Structure 1
């Protein structure tokens, strides 16, 4: 009951703050200027950010450059209720409102938070998210399964490259910083005659990383070497047909040596790991525009990604503690092949449907994901190196639709529904076979009220889902030596069921008439059924990970964004969130009842706050701070990351089409944790369990020169 009271109080507070914004909007009707309209591309029908009926945030190219963001993870701390976990060289997995995966080892994973880049599904492959020539990043919070399907139960991140245009234009960028950082990028595009409008971009990023391996006397065991290339082409075949082509190539060859036995930035590994991806992707979308007020979009995607992830399992070297030590190297190689086909028919403008001005979408969707895993590791049961292999094929078919109805000039409803069927086939080298399958239903209903020209109220309810799967590692190790007493426990967890997420949300979005003040506030409450939680069995140096369904979980909170241009030379911006989550019905293997505890990766508060100013027409400065509360590292132990706050600064000189930037990130050199484990791994301490952490970036600084043309 106290939770409900808190939620109602928060909603009332939002309504009051919204009323203030509306009053401001209505009062300032003179001396107006053109307002910059920010459009959201992730909706079926392009809407402004204020018109969306869910909590959505956008960071554009200029804001990314102010943070010196080279990779998606460099932007994530600026978004309310968005977190990410380490365990890799760059963030692969993301959490929204406390929901999301943290790692992947042996078993297949269905991400709770999706990632789309130029319409191609990179969910679970976050290391491919280079930001050079990305026009904007959109973050959708809450269930998005009705629109995007199985990989968007908790939310979605969408990245759009700069679109091709008929005018020749482009940009080049050079950057250098500490830790031997160097980056170069070139983007250009224009009209190619009968081929249409095209844009090509390529970028290369290199860095030594933030760790020093004192055993090997190296400072580059966490090095980053990332190449990204994209090509977009829009071809008008004739007045009725448009063909859009997208080509991607990524080659990421990063080191991985993140954990220290002493919890410092100095490691002792004699076999540092790696974190690699080489991917090629193609997207073809053919649109028929010959109807009077609708169009048909037909698309096919193909993504091939070869990934490699490895680490020194003992984090040390032979001879550090004779008689106690062990030595092991663990590596995972995955070959992922995705094929997607989709057809949708949608209206272009509102038209009368059953006497009501309406917009509509109807679509069919097919997704085939095939993953082959080869694990090269030391098998402690056999006492020798071993190879483990698995094949996981997942097919999804879906039918979906969305209807937007304008009941009056101010009142609009949006109704969406999606039915999705999955069939999975699992086979591994231990002769484990499973074939989980199910049908899942998702969707949304929202009501929007336009209180003034630039201000909206909305309320919504949405249902998301995530597919079930197989615990192949648990099945395969059920009869290992040392785990015999757990055989029945592991066999009972051979598969896990789909998870469902229900969410209600109320929000206020408004802008002043002159566009100088914008504010967006959302309050939400969500509850989860058959919650998929990761747990571990730890016996000596044997670890078995598995996913099981807890009874349920819930969460509620707030998200606020404000931008206020006080004068032509000074702007204030901020985003902040508050979150409260709870697990119910989850018992770990060693008997700890986690009921009532908060979920992992779910800090109670997060914020990004800053000022942007101009000195004359050429000098610009931006100072901002990111912060978040402490949070649990895992659902299977109670160790926490400390609260953190870091400061960033950018000083820019603009001259014609040139920009020279001096930038600094984490200027106070704060040590903060992004991943943590609790177990015994130090032979000098006879493997007494303790907390080991991976740190975020230290103080960084450098210079960037760019030119637009």
Structure 2
């Protein structure tokens, strides 16, 4: 086994460990999302890593194309793509009028894009790291469940250029251009441009169109890197222009919709960041500052139908949410390596401004709100060698969070909260093959006000509705304790690695997303999202990842996630006793099994099967996502300068449900009887990717 800090762009990997070329058996990846870089086998965290080679082998365009291979990572759609992520069953499922405090952090080159899932493009990405469990030391309030860190590829001092195009069914097209090399002796650059379009797999019978749920995304990345003795400075810029459609729900629960006003799922992001690393005597200084702005639109045809579908019973409604996000961050830390370990100290600040303009048929005029949050934190970490085989790790973070909310309904709210999180871990080198760790960590998530509930109180049509709304105005902060026992096993002589983690998570004042369904006199429904607190909940399970190089030509990979996520004590707003019931978005198992077979130096064949258990879409109703088992395959030809890859996903055309409702009726033809409704994921898709490298 060799430890290296190369990011292994040519390795074959599923999650966790990279395999290098035939003459270099087992080579580990470096996890960069933590405060210090660690070899993955030496981390005291349950972490999965997806490298550039794996993204290329899957012809992935977005994180959602590879996420099913990552244990205990799930997502909710309700839009053109998966926008909200859950780790170990914890995370948001949607956002409408309410501001949210994310449970799963999403970082792109160190910048916080939590809740902005369209930012998770895989264009020119070096690796994706998924850290499971609370990251109270690392990222504070926005990572009570875990963290997804996406790192773009670094500039190179050697010139390299690549052009790639892709074609697929459903009128799918993609293109990519990357270029890297030196500009002068100590200055290197990397430029990546790319885009992808698709009609999507929805047909709109009312409008006679097949592109109302389309994908239209363009991205660009530019990085400059200065290097000299003792320091390195990186400047990065990123743009995302997504103009996707949202027309996904059918009254008939098919991929044929009836809407006459299809919605949109748009995001325009501009971001810039500057990172500096420098040796100062015996210390290492790391600093990053960034600024980002994202303008989004999320809109949909609320009635999912057309005027005239059921005269006398129908209603017609359109809802639109336009948000303007601005974020500024600064993170400075000082690290020192000592003969028996290392320590670091850091300070962090983030300012987020979020403005909302909502245009809704049932509002007398546009609704506007502003939500400003300020985070100030100090943190530290000590790694100490207790003995030759035992190491201790202690991390602490103190964070102050100020939030200010105001809206056009004259509602004003302010909060000022202090939080403390951290982790204590012991790492034991059992022998040459096995390394174990035991850790306990604490995470937190801020409370808040259910502004949509408050704004809806004046519209209540009965005293019972008023009382129900008044009882759900505020919610408290949540804390989470996490206990993990991990075993990292490496057998280089067998070409085998196997990582396992057992975890127990206890949630206090657990925040739960619910919905109030208030019928109107005209037969329509006022559907109000809100957050309240369950008394407690527990999330227990296992994450296991294996890579086996069975020979020079064959690599087998496997991943398994087991999860038991239940409410210990919870009565929801309708008075239903949910104690002992599974939490939403928490499948009890997830798995992935794959193989890569190199037929000869030019030809490679790969296949995977991925699956998960069924799970509840919401804590309010009984509607479930169906269990799935999905087959994927690919064949790749690699020439000296050009390559071609044919790929297919969901070969068996399994029905995949990615969002669901079950607490209201929306079909006037059935007199609005309550029934489940589903959004369907991708059916069978296939295509070819061609590339040329200079």
Give the CA deviation at 1:171: 2.2
Q: Is 1:645 aligned to residue 629 of structure 2? A: yes
- 2 CA distance for matches of 1:186 and 1:454? 42
Q: Is 1:214 aligned to residue 202 of structure 2? A: no
In the TM superposition, 1:418-429 aligns within 5 A as 418-429=397-408
- 2 CA distance for matches of 1:459 and 1:487? 49
Q: Which residue of 2 aligns with 1:13?
A: none
Normalising by structure 2, we get a TM-score of 0.94
- 2 CA distance for matches of 1:603 and 1:261? 26
- Choose the corresponding residue for 1:502, options 467, 474, 481: 481
- Choose the corresponding residue for 1:303, options 292, 300, 321: 292
Q: Which residue of 1 aligns with 2:689?
A: 704
Give the CA deviation at 1:554: 0.3
Which SS does the other structure have where 1:436 is aligned?
strand
- 1 CA distance for matches of 2:570 and 2:321? 29
> Structure 1, residues 206-242: CA drift from partner, whole Å, max 9, x if none?
0001100011000000110001111111124x53443
Give the CA deviation at 1:261: 0.3
- Choose the corresponding residue for 1:74, options 65, 68, 74: 65
Q: Which residue of 1 aligns with 2:106?
A: 115
Q: Is 1:486 aligned to residue 465 of structure 2? A: yes
Give the CA deviation at 1:385: 5.2
- 2 CA distance for matches of 1:216 and 1:681? 20
Q: Which residue of 2 aligns with 1:287?
A: 277
RMSD value, Cα: 1.5
In the TM superposition, 1:353-372 aligns within 5 A as 357-372=340-355
In the TM superposition, 1:334-413 aligns within 5 A as 334-347=323-336, 350-352=337-339, 357-379=340-362, 386-413=365-392
Which SS does the other structure have where 1:690 is aligned?
coil
> Structure 1, residues 477-529: CA drift from partner, whole Å, max 9, x if none?
11213254233443343322211111100011111123711100110000101
- 2 CA distance for matches of 1:568 and 1:311? 52
- 2 CA distance for matches of 1:313 and 1:32? 58
Give the CA deviation at 1:45: 1.8
* Pair 194,488 (structure 1): closer, same or farther in 2 beyond 3 Å: farther
Maintained 8 Å contact 2:348/2:378: yes
Q: Is 1:324 aligned to residue 313 of structure 2? A: yes
- 2 CA distance for matches of 1:425 and 1:489? 25
Maintained 8 Å contact 2:465/2:518: no
Maintained 8 Å contact 1:417/1:443: yes
Q: Which residue of 1 aligns with 2:645?
A: 661
- 1 CA distance for matches of 2:383 and 2:341? 5
Q: Which residue of 2 aligns with 1:25?
A: none
* Pair 48,626 (structure 1): closer, same or farther in 2 beyond 3 Å: same
Q: Which residue of 2 aligns with 1:618?
A: 602
Structure with the bigger RCO (C-alpha within 8 Å, sep 6+) is: 1
Which SS does the other structure have where 2:137 is aligned?
helix
Q: Which residue of 2 aligns with 1:683?
A: 668
Q: Which residue of 1 aligns with 2:115?
A: 124
Give the CA deviation at 1:87: 0.3
Which SS does the other structure have where 2:361 is aligned?
strand
Which SS does the other structure have where 2:260 is aligned?
coil
Q: Which residue of 2 aligns with 1:444?
A: 423
- 1 CA distance for matches of 2:497 and 2:292? 39
Give the CA deviation at 1:368: 0.7
Maintained 8 Å contact 2:443/2:480: yes
Count how many residue pairs are aligned between Structure 1 and Structure 2: 667
> Structure 1, residues 571-625: CA drift from partner, whole Å, max 9, x if none?
1111011110111332222221111111000000000101110111111000101
- Choose the corresponding residue for 1:271, options 261, 266, 270: 261
Maintained 8 Å contact 1:646/1:666: yes
Give the CA deviation at 1:153: 0.8
In the TM superposition, 1:579-658 aligns within 5 A as 579-658=563-642
Q: Which 5+ residue runs of structure 2 have no aligned equivalent?
A: 1-21, 520-524
- 1 CA distance for matches of 2:462 and 2:234? 54
Maintained 8 Å contact 1:468/1:497: yes
- 1 CA distance for matches of 2:492 and 2:299? 54
Q: Which 5+ residue runs of structure 1 have no aligned equivalent?
A: 1-30
Q: Which residue of 1 aligns with 2:252?
A: 262
Give the CA deviation at 1:37: 2.2
* Pair 334,653 (structure 1): closer, same or farther in 2 beyond 3 Å: same
Give the CA deviation at 1:195: 6.8
Q: Which deviates the most, 310-319 or 119-128?
A: 119-128
- 2 CA distance for matches of 1:520 and 1:240? 35
Q: Which deviates the most, 176-185 or 496-505?
A: 496-505
Q: Which residue of 1 aligns with 2:536?
A: 552
- 1 CA distance for matches of 2:379 and 2:209? 53
- 2 CA distance for matches of 1:447 and 1:86? 38
Maintained 8 Å contact 2:272/2:292: yes
Give the CA deviation at 1:652: 0.6
> Structure 1, residues 272-294: CA drift from partner, whole Å, max 9, x if none?
000000010111123332323x2
Maintained 8 Å contact 2:617/2:623: yes
- 2 CA distance for matches of 1:185 and 1:583? 46
Maintained 8 Å contact 2:598/2:605: yes
Give the CA deviation at 1:664: 0.1
In the TM superposition, 1:156-167 aligns within 5 A as 156-167=147-158
Maintained 8 Å contact 1:662/1:704: yes
Normalising by structure 1, we get a TM-score of 0.92
- 1 CA distance for matches of 2:40 and 2:483? 19
Maintained 8 Å contact 1:50/1:454: no
Which SS does the other structure have where 2:458 is aligned?
coil
